Amino acid sequence: MINISELRLEIESIKGLKKQCLDSIELATLGDQSFQAELENELNEIEKRVNQLELNTLLSGPYDKGNALLSIHSGMGGVDSQDWAAMLERMYLRWAEQQGYHTDILDSSEGEEAGIKSVTIFVEGRYSYGYLRTEKGVHRLVRLSPFDAAHRRHTSFAQVEVLPEIVAEDPHAAINTDDLIIDIYKSSGAGGQNVQKNATAIRITHKPTGIVVTCQNERSQIQNRENALRVLRGRLYDMKMEEQEKKVSELRGEFQKIEWGSQIRSYVLHPYQMVKDHRTDYETGNTQSVLDGNIDGFIQSYLRKKK
C-alpha cells in the first residue's frame, strides 16, 4: 500500500530543492560579487540535499523508511569487549542525535567491571532502519587495553544487530501467543533508587525458534512486554530474510558462514589510527570522529556498492 504521507514528504522535499536552486540561480544572475560567499554556502547545501535524495533512492526495502531496533552484544575479549560495546553504543547514540532521530534504550545489561554486555536501542526517525541496517555485523577494535596492567595491545569484538520495527498489524508479524513463554521478574541494576521493587521486567521465549527477548528498562510491565514483542517481531522477520538469502547464496555457491572472524569493520587505535570497512574498503584515519558518531561515509559507501 502506498503511504500518502510519505509520498507527500518526498514531493515537498523535491519542491523545496527546486525552489532553492531557482533562488540561487536568480541570485547568481545579479552578478554582485558581494553575494559570492552566500552563493557558495547555498551550493554546498544544494549538493548535500541532492546527495541525500540520491541515497534515499537506494533505500527501497519494505521497511527502509521506518524505525530501527539496534542491539549491540559484546563478544570475545572479556572486559575490553564489554567496554568496546559501550563505545559502540555511544557512537550510535551520537550518530542518531546528529540525524535528529529519537532514541530509547529498551534493554541493557551492564558488564561486571566496565562497559555493557548488551543493549537494545529503539531508533525512531525516517529512514533510520535503511541507514542502520548497513551496520549489521561484527565490529573489531584494536587498541592498548586500559584494563591491562601491562598496557598490552588487545583485540575486542562486538556484534551489531539491526532489526526493522514491525507493527503488530503487519502481515509479516503474525505471532501465535501459544508459541510464547512469558516470564516476569525484577529488573536488575546498579542498586539504589534505580532498582525496581516490583516485578516489571519481561522475558519472552519463542518456542518454535528458541529466540529469547528481554526488556526491563520501563517501569511498566505492560510497556516492557510490548517492547519485547516489538523486538521479537523484528527478529522473526530478520530470521526469515536470512534464511531466504542463505538459500539464494547456496544456489549461487556464494554462502559464507557468519562468525567472529568475518568482521565487517576494524577500528584500529594502535599502533596506528584507522577505521576500515572490509566490505567496501572505505577507510579514514580520523578514528575519534568516527567514534563520535560520524559514520555517514561508511553508510553511504556501503549503500552505493550494494546498489
Least confident span in 6-15, 22-31, 132-141, 297-306: 6-15
pTM listed for this prediction: 0.82
Q: How far apart are CA 109 and CA 120, in angstroms?
A: 9
For the stretch 239-250, pLDDT in tens is 988 888 887 767
pLDDT of residue 194: 46
Which run of H or E residues covers position 139?
A: strand 137-144
What distances in angstroms separate CA 240 from CA 28, 33, 214, 289, one per listed residue? Answer: 54, 59, 21, 36
Task: For residue 286, give every residue at least 6 positions away whose Cβ sits within 8 Å of its Cβ, in sequence order, or none.
Answer: 273, 294
Task: Output the DSSP codes for 144-210.
Answer: E-TT-TT--EEEEEEEEEEEE---TTSGGG---GGGEEEEEEEPP-SSGGGS-SSEEEEEEEETTTT
Task: Give the contacts of 64 (CB within 8 A, at least 6 positions apart).
Answer: 127, 129, 130, 133
CATH class held by domain 68-165+264-306:
alpha beta
- Domain ranges in the chain are 4-57, 68-165+264-306, 171-252
The CATH number of domain 171-252 is 1.10.10.1100: no
For residue 202, what pLDDT is reported? 94
Q: What is the pLDDT of residue 252?
A: 63
Alpha helices in the chain (DSSP H): 4-28, 36-57, 78-99, 128-132, 221-252, 287-291, 296-306
127-153 pLDDT tens trace: 999 999 999 999 999 999 998 888 889
d(CA 205, CA 182): 7
Angstrom distance (rounded) from CA 45 to CA 142: 36
How far apart are alpha carbons 290 and 94 in whole angstroms?
A: 10
Q: Is the pLDDT of residue 188 over 90?
A: no
303: left (phi over 0), alpha (psi -120 to 50) or beta: alpha
CB neighbours of 247 closer than 8 A, spacing ≥ 6? none
Mean of pLDDT values over 2-24: 80
* Distance from C-alpha of 130 to C-alpha of 57, rounded to nearest angstrom: 11
User: What pLDDT does 253 receive?
Assistant: 66
| pLDDT (0 to 100) of residue 257 | 45
Fill in the amino acid letter for 255.
F
> Are residues 205 and 214 in contact, defined by beta-carbon separation less than 8 angstroms?
no
Strand-by-strand arrangement of the 274-277 sheet = 102-110, 116-124, 68-74, 153-164, 137-144, 265-268, 274-277, 283-284
Fold matches, 68-165+264-306 and 171-252: no
Residues 57-76, mean pLDDT to the nearest whole number: 91
Give dist(CA 95, CA 93) in Å, integer.
5
Give, as one character, the DSSP assignment of residue 135.
Answer: G
pLDDT at 285: 97
Residue 3 reports pLDDT greater than 80: no
pLDDT at 1: 43
Residue 22 confidence (pLDDT) above 80: yes
Task: Reply yes or no: is the peptide bond before residue 271 cis, omega within 30 of 0.
Answer: yes
